[in-house]
Structure 1
Amino acid sequence: MKLKSILLVTLTAILMFSCKKSEPEAEIPVPVPEKPKTVVAEPVQETVKPVVTEEKTESAEELLARIRLDDVYFEFDKSDLTDSTRRTLYRYVEVLRANPRVQVLIEGHCDERGTIEYNQALGERRAERVRSFLMESGVGSGRLSTVSYGKMQPVNMGHNEDAWAQNRRAHFRLGLKN
């Protein structure tokens, strides 16, 4: 029953994330045409070749494939960001600032030790800590959302310290603004 509740909350969060309306664009003032001036033009001997530029717009798939935000990891029973994690997140801030269409769902994960409820809360603290850091560093809050999976989605199914260390993480899922 608890698993169904967790899945329902997760699906609701994902649906809310994907249904966000885009912000209205600012109006651009229309220039007022001036009265034409009469100018006597002299013939020009020089010919100018037109410059042809191809404007390539990157598709959503290409943009998302180009951007990679690897997981960041946490110590046992902690949601604090290490210096190494902060350096990684600073690089992610630069990537996100350069790509304002990208939205991020930050997933908090834990290892298998502890109760479901405890790990759910710890995963949420981890995701929120990463979100707060990104916001404080200049990424807009409307582009960031969080969800906790606690210990429900381990990346490594092992039962040892190496496996647990890989499961204590924040994972990033990318999407685009509509």
Structure 2
Amino acid sequence: MNRTFVTGLISLAFLALAACGSSEKKVEVGDVESDGSVVAKDINFDPLGSDSGNISGLSTVNFPYDSSTLGSAARSALTENAKWINANSGVTIQIEGHCDSRGSVEYNLALGERRAKSVKNFLVGQGVPANRLTIISYGKEKPIAQGDTESVYAQNRRANFVPLPN
């Protein structure tokens, strides 16, 4: 009986692993537009892979400690991002808000949401249609860098951009 149980348990484990397929999808966006803008092609979409799907041509923006205020460097980068998004109308963008590892999970989720909203509001002010932008907060759950130094914390206080399938 013990052997039958172990065999059944192993079979169940293999079935569970087989059911876990990749959730990665490809998004076809296009080539070179008539105005000369280049549209990213074969953008990987992986909703679980924060930053891995950050679109080439869009800059990640960083934030000061415990703030969702956009500094001058962030506003400058977002102005360029808005131009790219407006020139590539076939892409919907998810703005991900992130935080460093300090603070509670709840606090950082709220702060990450405020950061993503701040970025979205700025982009909408630059003429990007609001319906092409979604936001999500990962708080401190998806750091881009590991460690407990100010440099690492600064890298993790960010908003990045991920394409969504249309």
- TM-score tier, shorter chain, comes to 0.5 to 0.7
Aligned to 1:58: 31
Which digits, 9 at most, give the CA deviation of each residue in 1:127-166, with x for residues without a partner? 0000010011100011000000000001111111000000
Aligned residues with identical type, % of pairs:
41
- Match in the other structure for 2:75: 86
2:95 is aligned with 1:106: yes
Size of the aligned set, in residue pairs, is 122
Deviations 1:6-41 (A, max 9, x none): xxxxxxxxxxxx9xxxxxxxxxxxxxxxxxxxxxxx
Q: CA deviation at 1:174?
A: 1.4
Deviation of 1:69 after TM superposition, in Å, equals 1.2
Change (3 A) 1:80 1:61: closer
Unaligned runs of 5+ in 1: 1-17, 19-56
Once the two structures are superposed, the pairs formed by residues 113-128 of structure 1 within 5 Å of their partners are 113-128=102-117
Q: After TM superposition, what 4+ stretches of structure 1 lie above 6 angstroms from structure 2?
A: none
Q: Report the TM-score, using the length of structure 1 for normalisation.
A: 0.63
Q: Do 2:97 and 2:138's aligned partners in 1 also have CA atoms closer than 8 Å? A: yes
Counterpart in the other structure of 2:137: 148
TM-score for both structures, normalised by structure 2: 0.68
SS of the aligned residue for 2:41 comes to helix
CA RMSD of aligned residues (A): 2.2
Query: For residue 66 of structure 2, what is the aligned residue in structure 1?
Result: 77
Q: Distance in 2 between matches of 1:61 and 1:133?
A: 23
TM superposition shift of 1:175: 3.0
Larger Rg: 1
